[in-house]
Amino acid sequence: MNYLIKNAHTILTGLTGDAARSNASAIRIQDGVITDMGNLTALSDENVIDAKDCVVYPAWVNTHHHLFQSLLKGEPQGLNQSLTPWLASTPYRFRGAFDEETFRLAARIGLIELLRSGCATVADHHYLYWPNMPFDGAEILFDEADQLGLRFVLCRGGATLTRGLEAELPQALRPEKFDEFTADIERLVSKYHDHSGQAFRRIVMAPTTALHSTTPAQLRETAQLARHLGIRLHSHLSETVDYLDAARAKFGMTPVQFCAEHDWIGEDVWFAHLVKLLPEEIQLLGQTKTGIAHCPQSNARLGSGIADLVSLEQAGMNISIGVDGAASNEAADMLSETHATWMLQRARKGMFAQPKYEGGLFEGGADAATIEDVIRWGTKGGAQVLGLSDVGTLQVGQQADLVVYQLDDPRYWGLHDIAIGPVASAGQANIKHMLIGGKTVIQHNQIPDLDMLELAAQARVAVQKLQQRAQQIAWAC
């Protein structure tokens, strides 16, 4: 179907400088591609979407998630814990409790939550793998994304070593053998991976943490295999100070230095978090144009800190935004996440303000990030770290992944510039229309054929089931 979106109040493009806001009020879409932008009149075969009083954004690209955690929100044992004890209390304690049904439901809920914020592309760092797993998580994730019309990047996680904090977990959660891990990566690449810049399915090499999941020699082998297969590399890194301590104790170097020594650095690599970095690490990441998935809400919820995006971008890194798993972010949607990015970068800079008599040079941090910066990080930046060259911006020739936000809630009334509303005011903006690859995925805020009340009831039952099973697993060991 061909579309003409017309009368838009403002079109944000995901680009930089003056190009961040388009002069156009209309977008023509033919066969899934943006073919014209300007002040256009409808052709006879076009379906017209009237965007009067609406703002149009490129659809968001979420570059770090753990969808299975969508049924682990606000879990009491981990709620007030920092990263390492939280990992043991919540995601690791519960992961053996998932079966095919609860896993599928968690994935569905997480994907719907993202889609309803205007997100079209999801990279999930999926690490539920152990010998003789009873279900194929990859197949379920691709299937659920497909049903909603999303682009899906499976970052194939997992581990070949047992981390200290999981040593007490049941046998079913023991690590994989390295040759099984690599064989599965090759299977997934041949089954799903599309190299094109407009791919709907991608595979990424993604051992769960670069420091702890494999031996150093295996880590280097994963980099070689990924480059041989032509896929990207992703992992967690430097989320808290614990990474600095662990890298020094185990390898006598910094976390980034360790990754660099094992070929895990470069334009085809992106890391989640990078909250705690030394100046020499920032320089190395910048020089090699390595990417970051910035996850401000999870980093705040776990009390890890705030990544210094301004320095990272100045150094040359590619910046993107990820929501991280919902077990450490009870608002795992891209509007909440971009809102938090906007706020926290400013707050972070403000923390370093000094009085003039102490040599201070600025009063506060309000120039740390503009709304346009945040939109660019959450769209074009995400597409860049994932290597999806045909998505992430609104320009002629790009895939039509876009959102028409109708800001008709009192929250947005009174804005002098409604274009900033979805990010600046946050909340659940009404989506008048959303397209992915030129296909309608949301219309008048509704996902077609979806019973939300039924889904809510299923979620309540699943939470109870997971609590019971986690308890049974704990008793069994």
The conformation of residue 55, written as its DSSP 8-state character, comes to E
Which two tokens mark 72?
């682990």
Stretch that binds Zn ion, among 67-75, 189-197, 282-290, 318-326 (CB under 5 A): 318-326
Using the minimum distance from each CB to Zn ion, give the nearer residue, 124 or 401: 124
Q: Judged by CB under 5 A, does residue 324 bind Zn ion?
A: yes
**Cβ closest to Zn ion, residue 68 vs residue 412:** 68
CB of 388 to Zn ion, least distance (A): 20
CA atoms within 13 A on the CB side of 232: 27
Whose Cβ is closer to Zn ion: residue 238's or residue 398's? 238
Q: Is 239 in the site for Zn ion (CB under 5 A)?
A: no
8 A C-beta contact, residue 8 and residue 56:
yes
Token couple for 294: 């910035």
User: 406: helix, coil or strand?
Assistant: strand
- Looking at 190-198, 253-261, 265-273, 436-444, which segment touches Zn ion (CB under 5 A)? 265-273
**Residue 67 to residues 5, 114, 126: CA-CA distances in angstroms?**
32, 10, 7
Question: 336's torsion region: left (phi>0), alpha (psi -120 to 50) or beta?
Answer: alpha
Which CB atom, from 91 or from 438, has the smaller least distance to Zn ion? 91
272 vs 285 by CB, closer to Zn ion: 272
Q: Which stretch binds Zn ion (CB under 5 A): 17-25, 214-222, 253-261, 266-274?
A: 266-274
Q: Site size for Zn ion, by CB under 5 A?
A: 2
What does the alpha-carbon distance between residue 271 and residue 261 come to, in Å, rounded to a whole number? 16
Query: At closest approach, how far in Å is the CB of 325 from Zn ion?
Result: 6
Closer residue to Zn ion in complex, CB, 57/271: 271
Cα(330)–Cα(80) distance, integer angstroms? 13
Comparison of 46 and 324: residue with beta carbon closer to Zn ion: 324
**Interacting residues of 466 by C-beta distance below 8 A, sequence separation 6+:** 71, 72, 94, 97, 98, 102
Helices (H) and strands (E) in the chain, counts: 16, 17
Give the residue at shortest CB distance from Zn ion. Answer: 324
Judged by CB under 5 A, does residue 308 bind Zn ion? no
Span interacting with Zn ion, options 44-52, 80-88, 316-324, 329-337, rule CB under 5 A: 316-324
Per DSSP, what are the bridge partners of residue 234? Answer: 270
**Calpha distance 71→356 (Å, rounded):** 49
* Rounded distance between C-alpha atoms, residue 150 and residue 37, angstroms: 24
Rule CB under 5 A: which of 403-432 touch Zn ion?
none
- Under the binding rule (CB under 5 A), the answer on residue 124 touching Zn ion is no
- Among the residue ranges 249-257, 267-275, 346-354, 365-373, the one whose residues contact Zn ion (CB under 5 A): 267-275
Q: What's the min distance (Å) between Cβ of 69 and Zn ion?
A: 9
Task: Pick the stretch among 46-54, 131-139, 321-329, 392-400 that binds Zn ion (CB under 5 A).
Answer: 321-329
Binding site for Zn ion (CB under 5 A): 272, 324
